[in-house]
Chain A
């Protein structure tokens, strides 16, 4: 079974509007971390935001926020006030917990969502 599921291969949003990119995860660990990365057409991986499983508040970084719903195992990325430069591939990833010995630190990635922002 996939540990990270991104069900939206592509999303479109108009400039200045908000958009939500979906991510669900699967783990039996109590301690884990969730990440979102952006990959523009140039190819590099850019870290956007992190949420720890014990964090009580949703993470925010500028226009990015992570809507963390632990019981539903979802970690959706919300981009407010979209800009043309937000057009990119977005990946959700998970790091599993501290009781996993040598696998601690590796990330499991979803298949990504291609976001297109139009003027």
Chain B
């Protein structure tokens, strides 16, 4: 089984709808991250969490919110989806030692029409 899972893998939704993307990990890492990827822009950080009580905004947090329900679960919500939130969304985890390498989930492809 994959160490970092994301659900759903693909989602099409309409403008104005609320949508939640979920991330679970079995790596036992404290740190979790949400990124979005747009063509030609690389990955940009939306939110990150270093433990259940520590949640921080990234560089593009407007229009998004997150919830860290447990060490293993980190959810991203779009309160009112808009078309320019169409993107590939990645969840990632990292340990607090060593290289702090990030382990990525498979991604969620979100389309807002």
Q: B40 near A104 (CB under 8 angstroms)?
A: no
User: Number of A residues whose C-beta is below 8 Å from B?
Assistant: 24
Is chain B's binding surface mostly helix, strand, loop or mixed? strand
Judged by a CB distance under 8 angstroms, whether B56 is at the interface is: yes
Q: Closest A-chain residue to B44, C-beta based? A: A109
User: Number of B residues whose C-beta is below 8 Å from A?
Assistant: 28
**A47-B103, A106-B33 known; A112 and B45 CB under 8 Å?**
no
Residues of B participating in the A interface, judged by any CB pair closer than 8 Å: 31, 33, 35, 40-45, 48, 50, 54, 56, 58, 88, 90, 92, 94, 96, 99-104, 106-107, 109
New A-B pairs, 15, CB < 8 Å, besides A45-B92, A91-B42, A106-B33: A9-B40, A35-B102, A37-B104, A45-B107, A47-B103, A52-B99, A91-B43, A95-B99, A95-B100, A104-B100, A105-B31, A105-B50, A106-B45, A109-B35, A109-B43
